[in-house]
Amino acid sequence: MELYLDSALLSEIEEAFEMGFLTGLTTTPTFMFREGVQDIDAMILKLSGIVPILQIEALGEDANAICREAGRLLDLGLEREKTVFKLPVSLESVKACKRLTDQGILVNVHLIYTLQQAYMAMAAGAAYVCPLVGRLQDQGHDAISLIDQCVTAVDRYGYDCKVMFSSVRHPEHVRNAINLGVHAVTVPWKVMKQLTENTFTTVGVQQFFEHTRMLTLRVRDVISDFNPTIHRGKTIYDALVVMTRGGFGAVTVLDDNEEICGIFTDGDLRRMLEREDEAGLSRRLEQLDLKVPIQVEESALLKDAAALLKEKQVDTLPVVRGRKSIGMLDIQDVIGVGS
């Protein structure tokens, strides 16, 4: 199934065609008007240099005028093999379609709302017939049935014609197009970007990243540059200041040799306040019953550090290089790895 972009916004056209596999671009004067295009001919020439196939409007009051307009556009420098002229279906349009196709010029007869309109375009040699599904559904009609009938007609009678599914409003329309066996679909960029999205896929990818990083990152790769340490001779209030400054829920307590002799946590702070109120903030840390905490080496894999946090049921681990404190691993550092 051919995949076209339906747009006139240059920035998204360039972005979409960077994918490298789109068949071409469909656009309309209405799109160009909405995007503030001042020189349609210049815009058409610019687009023709960007996209593999360009489908553009050739308007005229009658068949002669339509054919003249197609000729004028080709004379601008468009390549015949890479250009498809879109004609809104009418008696004059199918007449022009026959004349143009006899000259080897590709035509898309669009604004199709009935099978009879599609049949007239097929019989006139149109390379594409293009029902507008979204618009037809807006009017309460069974557009999906019309598409199915058009595909059946092409297959049954052997017309050298492609049914293009257009006026796509959401990804479900693209699924409809695939299931119906249409030959081409033209899709707005905002919908096309959703075609690779799925909640389960997103969750799966996040897990892949998380588990890959858990197996490759080391503790030193994720810890903060701020090392929340404090000498044991300082007060609980001082410890609270350090915790607040670093955004941690704990501080590592050091002795006179700068070695770890304890850890003071926000949980310890809450329990102290329950017992002693604010007066306890002036107590020195060395007056507390501190124990040397579980520590983790900076070179440890993150998965091993995560397992240690879980096993010991703690939220923080002092990080060491040998016997020297160099940082603090918080459980949020582990959780944040996959984000």
Long-range contacts, 254-260 (Cβ 8 Å, 24+): 254/229, 254/230, 254/325, 255/231, 256/231, 258/324, 258/325, 259/323, 259/324, 259/325, 260/292, 260/293, 260/295, 260/318, 260/320, 260/323, 260/325
How high is the pLDDT of residue 338? 44
Same domain, yes or no: 178 and 48: yes
Mean pLDDT per block of 10 residues along the chain (339 residues) reads 96 96 94 89 95 97 98 96 98 98 98 98 98 95 97 97 97 97 98 95 88 90 94 94 92 94 92 82 91 94 92 94 93 69
Q: Do 49 and 185 share a structural domain?
A: yes
Residues 31 and 152 in one domain: yes
Give Cβ neighbours of residue 11 (< 8 Å, ≥ 6 apart): none
- pLDDT at residue 274, as a whole number: 84
CATH code of 265's domain: 3.10.580.10
Are 19 and 154 members of one domain? yes
Same domain, 44 and 160: yes
Tell me: do 215 and 260 sit in the same domain: yes
86 is a catalytic site residue? yes
If one counts the domains in the chain, the total is 2
Domain holding 36: CATH number? 3.20.20.70
pLDDT at position 336: 57
Say if pTM beats, i.e. exceeds, 0.85: no
Q: What pLDDT does 58 receive?
A: 97
Catalytic site residue from 86, 95, 162, 234: 86
CA distances from 328 to 24, 156, 208, 222, 240 (A): 55, 72, 26, 10, 15
Domain holding 242, by residue range, is 202-338
In this structure, are 134 and 237 located in the same domain? no
| pLDDT for position 209 | 87
Alpha-carbon distances of 258 from 229, 252, 267, rounded to whole Å: 10, 10, 24
